[in-house]
Amino acid sequence: MIFENTLEFARQLDSQDLLNKYQEEFIFPQVNGKKVIYFTGNSLGLQPKRTKSYVDEVMDDWANLAVEGHFYSQKPWWDYHERFAQPLSKIVGALPSEVTVMNTLTVNLHLLMVSFYRPTKSRYKIICEEKAFPSDQYMFQSQVDFHSHYLGIKLEDTIVEIKRREGEHNIRVEDVLAKIEEVGDELALVLIGGVNYYTGQVFDMKTITAAGQKVGAYVGWDLAHAAGNVRLELHDWNVDFAAWCSYKYMNSGPGNASGCFIHENHHNNSELPRFAGWWGHNKERRFKMEQTFDPIHGADGWQISNLPILSLAPYLASVALFDEIGMDAIIQKRDRITSYLEFILQEIDKEVDSSFEIITPSHVLERGSQLSVLLHGEGRSLFDYLMKNGVITDWREPNVIRLAPVPLYTSYTDMYEFGQILKTGILNKRQL
Ligand SMILES: *Cc1c(COP(=O)(O)O)cnc(C)c1O
Residue 136 marked ligand-binding = yes
Closest CA to 112 of 28, 193, 5, 220: 220
Instruction: Clarify whether residues 308 and 352 are in a common domain.
Output: no
Distance 122 CA to ligand 1 centre (A): 30
Instruction: Clarify whether residues 310 and 347 are in a common domain.
Output: no
Overall number of domains in the chain: 2
CB 312 within 8 A of CB 101: yes
State residue 224's pLDDT score: 98
Distance CA 269, CA 295 (A): 11
CB 199 within 8 A of CB 230: no
Instruction: Clarify whether residues 315 and 397 are in a common domain.
Output: no
Residue 135 marked ligand-binding = yes
Distance CA 55, CA 61 (A): 10
Please choose from 42, 44, 105, 249 the residue to mutate so as to test ligand 1's pocket, defined by most ligand atoms within 8 A of CB: 105
Residue 389 marked ligand-binding = no
Instruction: Clarify whether residues 234 and 134 are in a common domain.
Output: yes
Instruction: Clarify whether residues 79 and 217 are in a common domain.
Output: yes
Residue 247 marked ligand-binding = yes
Beta strand 159-162 with 37-38 is unpaired
Instruction: Clarify whether residues 43 and 59 are in a common domain.
Output: no
CB 86 within 8 A of CB 96: yes
Residues making up the chain, counted from first to last = 432
Instruction: Clarify whether residues 302 and 222 are in a common domain.
Output: yes
State residue 379's pLDDT score: 74
Distance 303 CA to ligand 1 centre (A): 19
Distances 362 to 114, 129, 335, 343 between C-alpha atoms, Å = 37, 20, 11, 11
State residue 293's pLDDT score: 92
- Give, using CA atoms, the residue closest to atom 8 of ligand 1: 105
Angle between helices 327-352 and 309-325 (to 10 degrees): 80
Question: Is the backbone peptide bond immediately before 134 cis, with ω within 30 degrees of 0?
Answer: no
Distance 273 CA to ligand 1 centre (A): 24
Does the residue 2 lie in any domain?
Answer: no
Instruction: Clarify whether residues 265 and 157 are in a common domain.
Output: yes
Instruction: Clarify whether residues 35 and 132 are in a common domain.
Output: no
Task: Report the sign of the C-alpha dihedral through residues 380, 382, 388, 392, in that order.
Answer: negative
State residue 283's pLDDT score: 87
Distance CA 373, CA 199 (A): 9
Atom of ligand 1 nearest to the CA of 255: 8
What is the CATH number for 413?
3.90.1150.10
Please choose from 40, 44, 102, 106 the residue to mutate so as to test ligand 1's pocket, defined by most ligand atoms within 8 A of CB: 106
Instruction: Clarify whether residues 209 and 123 are in a common domain.
Output: yes
Closest CA to 114 of 136, 139, 94: 139
Distance 105 CA to ligand 1 centre (A): 6
CB 364 within 8 A of CB 382: no
State residue 375's pLDDT score: 84
pLDDT in tens, 145-174: 999 989 999 999 999 999 999 999 999 999
Closest CA to 214 of 176, 248, 246, 160: 176
End-to-end Cα separation, the chain, in angstroms: 38
Task: Report the sign of the C-alpha dihedral through residues 40, 44, 46, 48, in that order.
Answer: positive
State residue 288's pLDDT score: 83
209 backbone dihedrals φ, ψ, rounded to 5°? -60, -45
Which positions ≥6 away from 192 have C-beta within 8 Å? Answer: 127, 128, 129, 132, 162, 176, 203, 208, 221, 222
Pocket of ligand 1 (CB under 6 A): 104-106, 133, 135-136, 193, 197, 222, 224-225, 245
Residue 422 marked ligand-binding = no
For residue 58, the enclosing domain spans 53-325
Instruction: Clarify whether residues 83 and 112 are in a common domain.
Output: yes
Give 225-259 as a DSSP string.
Answer: TTTTTS---TTTTT--EEEEESSSTT---TTPPEE
Rounded average pLDDT per 10-residue block, the chain, 432 residues: 96 98 97 96 98 98 98 96 98 98 98 98 97 95 94 93 96 98 98 97 98 98 98 98 98 97 95 94 85 94 97 98 97 98 96 89 96 84 92 89 97 98 88 66
Domain boundary (293, 325, 357) is at: 325
CB 189 within 8 A of CB 113: yes
Closest CA to 265 of 128, 115, 123: 115
Distance 32 CA to ligand 1 centre (A): 32
Task: Report the sign of the C-alpha dihedral through residues 275, 276, 280, 282, in that order.
Answer: positive
Q: Three-class SS string for 18-57? A: CCHHHHHHEECCEECCEECEECECCCCCCEECCHHHHHHH
State residue 353's pLDDT score: 84
Give 69-99 as a DSSP string.
Answer: HHHHSSS-GGGGGGGGHHHHHHHHT--GGGE
Instruction: Clarify whether residues 130 and 248 are in a common domain.
Output: yes
Closest CA to 202 of 183, 176, 184: 176
Which positions ≥6 away from 204 have C-beta within 8 Å? Answer: 173
Beta strand 394-396 with 400-403 is antiparallel
What is the CATH number for 186?
3.40.640.10
| CA 162 to chain centroid | 20
Does the residue 148 lie in any domain?
Answer: yes
State residue 354's pLDDT score: 78
Domain boundary (303, 325, 347) is at: 325
Domain boundary (325, 353, 376) is at: 325
Does the residue 1 lie in any domain?
Answer: no
Beta strand 391-392 with 37-38 is parallel
Does the residue 212 lie in any domain?
Answer: yes
Residue 9 marked ligand-binding = no
Distance 406 CA to ligand 1 centre (A): 18
Rg (CA), the chain: 23
Give 126-187 as a DSSP string.
Answer: EEEETT--HHHHHHHHHHHHHHHHHH---HHHHEEEEPPPTT-SS--HHHHHHHHHHHGGGE
